[in-house]
Every structure is written in C-alpha cells, then in structure tokens.
Amino acid sequence: MDVRLFDLNIERILEAWDNSHAVRELIANALDEQILTRSAAISIQKDPAGVWSVRDFGRGLRYEHFTQNENPEKLKASGRVIGKFGIGLKDAVATLTRNGVAVEFQSKHAVITFEQCPKHGFADVVTLHARVAPPRDPRFKGTEIKFVGLEDADLAAAKAFFLKFSGEMTIEATRLGSILKKTGPKGRIYVAGLLIAEEENFAFSYNITSMTETMRKALNRERTNVGRTAYTERVKAMLLASTNQTVAESLATQLTALQSGVASDEVKWKDVAIHACKILNKNGACVFVTSRQLSESPDAIDAARSDGKQIVVVPDTIYDDIRGQNDLDGEPIRDLAVFQAEWNDSFAFEWILPEQLTAPERETFARAEALCRLAGGRPKTVKAIKVSQTMRRDLLAGVDAVGLWDPATGDIVIRRDQLKSVKTFAATLLHELAHASSGAGDLSRAFEDALTNLLGAVATTALAAA
C-alpha cells in the first residue's frame, strides 16, 4: 500500500483550545463546504461503537488542504462561510491528537490519519505528520471525519458554537445580518453562524454576515473572546435597519425599564431607542409618554387607553428627542399633544342654532358683537361665533373646555351652558378672542400679552362710554 507521511510542521499547539474547539473547526469546515458546493446538509452522528463522525457531501479533502494558505474561494464568500486560512484544520487535528483522540479523514482522494514522527533529516525534532493512504472508495462522496475516543460532552460543546444547532430563530433578516430570538439568558453574537461572543445584557442574539475591517482583524485563530467594540457597529446598524414590530415591542419593554436601570444594553444606545419608537409608531397604535405625564395627565392617559392605544413610557431624554419627529412612514410620532390633536379632530360638535336657544340664552348670545367691539373689534381671523351643546375636553389639562378657538375653520365655539349669564359668556368669549388675535395657546407668554392688551382695550372702551 502506497502510504506517505506529510509533515504538518506542528510542534506546539494552542494551549487554550480543548477538544470542543478542535471539533468546532472541523464542523465549520464541513458547513463551509456545504455552502460553497450547495451540497446536502452535513451529518453529525455516533455509530454503535460510540465513534462520532462529521461528514459533508462536497468535493472531498485532499492532503494539500493541510498547508497553511489563504483560501481565495472562502475569502470571496466572506460573510457566508466561516474559515479563510488553513490554520484551523491543522490546529484542530493537533489538539485532538494531544488529548488522545484519534482522527481519521476519508474522502475519494485519500484516507488520512495522524502520528508523531521525526522531521525528515532531523531525528531530534518530532512533529505531527499526516499519514496519507490511498482511498478506500474512489467514488466516496464528500469528506467523513471520525473521532475515536471523543466524549459526547465535547461533541455537544462543539455544536453549541453554531447558530445552526442553537435553536435560535431569526426574527428579522437585514442586509448586514439577522436579529435572532435568544434561547438562553445571554445574547449570542455569531459571525456567519459561528459564535464569537456572549452578552449578559442583550435583548437579542445577532448573526453578522457583513463584516467590518475591525471585525476581520478581531477574529483571531481562537475565534472567542472577541471584544464588543469589534461588533457594536454592526449590531447597532442591524437594529437601525429593522422595521420589525416584534423587535420594536421588545425594545419598547426595555425602554420602560431604562429609568430603573435594568434595561437591555441595546436601548442604552440612544439612536436605537429612537428608532424603536419610530417602528412602534408606524406599526402600532401607541402613545409615548413620560413617567411624569402618567401622574400629571391621567385624563389623557385614560382616554388613550379607552381609544385602544398602547401607552409606552420612555425616559425624558428619549421623549424630548422624538417629540415633533416623524416615524418611518412620515407620520408624526404620537405623544400626548399629537393624541390630543387627533382626539380633537375626531370630536363631533353638537351645534345649537340661534332659534334653538331659550329666550334668555338668545338675549345673552346677542351681546357677542358688542363684546367684540369692547375688545377693539372682531379679529379678521374670526369667521363666526357658534354655540355647541358639547365641547372638546382638554385632555392634557384634565378639564372640560368651555370655549374654543379653531384656527382651521375660523370659528369661536362657546359651550351652551356659558350663556347662563352675560358674565360667564363675556369671560369665555373674550378669552377666545385673545387666542384668535394672538394665535397662541394657553400658558404661553404670547397669550398672556394678548390677554393683557385685550383687557386694556375693554377698559379703555368702557371708560370712554362712562
């Protein structure tokens, strides 16, 4: 039998590796071959004798693959495959051999086993050699690797490095990778399906398929203990590219927990938190509030809930940033002010025509033009003064409004019960005239100035007539 020895030039190996890391590399090679050749799914199984094997159905291993060299094919497929150098294959075999696990590769090209031998011409230097024998079956499909003496726990630990065997499902796929539903207490970071790090306080797991240059440099031979700085940019970019409601709702839950300091790390990135609000606003009927507004505006909160809206509590810093912004569809993000405006737009007035008023009410309402003259005349913006049985409620202030200036229609609306006396009617009408002349809302400096000027005009007119 033509048996040749191929020197792997390995004298010392990676001390940090154990059998699970070694088997991980060989599984990774099998998965890469499956992807590159579009062949059948790899097989991992144990025979009746207790021997584990990993098999792909690709092109078959050659002894030349044990040379250390960049693989152009894998480099071109970066993001889809795991490996790129020949280092992992040699280190894996050396680690297993050191730990007493016999390894055999079978393909249509050769049967390869391993032994320690002196280097050719240097009897005092012993290195690991591949023992290359002719193939048992020249028609053998793919490559089968057998591990004699491998513990079940080591094989299970090796499989745990791979997304394929983790049970973590994709929530959303983006152009940079996938956001995954984590199955355990930690978030897991994968690159092309291989675990490189775990995060104690992540809401999701992530599979990165588009690597940055920083990541490429950080993916060392061990492929473990990769620092967060290497992959943070890609994780953030995936979240910012997300439009998925499940992702947004999970992050919204974390947003609520920010104030108490127990939120996931993702929402501590401000741009991610804001983006989550935009997704929620686009896909769900929600209202964003602060914890302070929960206690200060109970009427508005109750109205929103009665209207079927989800109340999303966010920190003040996030609320200040989303207020006045639009969501992913260009619609306003719904805070309490936006909800009040929507609620107002949906309100239907119950108009009372002059002939429907009682005689005393008609007499009071007839003073409208005289009251306008007292204030310096009806502003040009006021088209009509109307009476309604019902009135929009000021949800933010928690009070029932008695009058309204509607700039959209040019109407001043007076609630009917204000006609019970000239005093209440005059107070309400003059208040709304100040809004109409200034265009300013309550509690603003502009409105206070307009109201002051109106009081001065009323006093001047009244004194002149005295």
pLDDT in tens, 398-434: 667 888 888 888 999 999 999 999 999 999 999 999 8
Phi and psi angles of residue 292, each rounded to the nearest 5 degrees, phi first: -65, -40
SS3 content of the chain, % helix, strand, coil (to 5): 40, 20, 35
Residues of the chain above pLDDT 90, percent:
51
Residues 349-386 have pLDDT tens digits of: 899 999 999 999 999 999 999 999 988 889 899 999 99
Residues 216-268 have pLDDT tens digits of: 776 755 566 678 888 999 999 999 999 998 998 898 888 878 777 788 999 99
Look up the pTM and report it: 0.70
Given this model, what pLDDT does residue 82 score? 63
> Do residues 289 and 189 share a domain?
no
> Do residues 28 and 143 share a domain?
yes
- Out of 314, 345, 376, pick the residue that ends a domain: 345
Higher-pLDDT residue of 379, 215: 379
> Do residues 330 and 371 share a domain?
no
Residues of the chain above pLDDT 70, percent:
89
CATH number reported for the structural domain that contains residue 422 in this entry: 3.30.2010.10
Average pLDDT of the chain?
87
Cα–Cα distance measured from residue 325 to residue 56, given in angstroms and rounded to the nearest whole number? 52
Cα–Cα distance measured from residue 394 to residue 314, given in angstroms and rounded to the nearest whole number? 23
Higher-pLDDT residue of 455, 48: 48
Residue 157 has pLDDT above 50, yes or no: yes
Cα–Cα distance measured from residue 86 to residue 104, given in angstroms and rounded to the nearest whole number? 17
> Do residues 107 and 25 share a domain?
yes
Give Rg (Cα) of the chain: 37
> Do residues 22 and 156 share a domain?
yes
Give the length of the chain.
Answer: 466
Residue 85 has pLDDT above 50, yes or no: no
Tokens of 350: 């119950």
CATH number reported for the structural domain that contains residue 24 in this entry: 3.30.565
Q: Is the dihedral of CA 420, 424, 430, 432 positive or negative?
A: negative
Given this model, what pLDDT does residue 456 score? 86
> Do residues 286 and 362 share a domain?
no
Q: Are 446 and 437 in contact (CB under 8 A)?
A: no
> Do residues 73 and 156 share a domain?
yes
- Out of 311, 345, 379, pick the residue that ends a domain: 345
Give, rounded to a whole angstrom, the gap between the first and last alpha carbons of the chain.
130
Cα–Cα distance measured from residue 290 to residue 313, given in angstroms and rounded to the nearest whole number? 5
Given this model, what pLDDT does residue 122 score? 82
Residue 462 has pLDDT above 50, yes or no: yes
> Do residues 272 and 307 share a domain?
yes
By C-alpha distance, which of 6, 64, 71 is closest to 33?
71
Given this model, what pLDDT does residue 223 score? 62
> Do residues 176 and 96 share a domain?
no
Cα–Cα distance measured from residue 193 to residue 181, given in angstroms and rounded to the nearest whole number? 14
- Out of 130, 160, 190, pick the residue that ends a domain: 160
Given this model, what pLDDT does residue 86 score? 44
Cα–Cα distance measured from residue 168 to residue 270, given in angstroms and rounded to the nearest whole number? 26
Interval 181-198 mean pLDDT: 93
How many domains does one find in the chain?
4
Phi and psi angles of residue 112, each rounded to the nearest 5 degrees, phi first: -120, 125
> Do residues 51 and 142 share a domain?
yes
> Do residues 196 and 226 share a domain?
yes
Higher-pLDDT residue of 448, 11: 448
Q: Are 370 and 376 in contact (CB under 8 A)?
A: no
> Do residues 126 and 153 share a domain?
yes
Which domain range does residue 335 map to? 245-345
Residue 117 has pLDDT above 90, yes or no: no
Residues 10-45 have pLDDT tens digits of: 655 556 689 999 999 999 999 999 999 999 999 999
Concatenated DSSP letters for 380-430?
TT--EEEEESS--EETTTTEE-SEEEETTTTEEEEEGGGGG-HHHHHHHHH
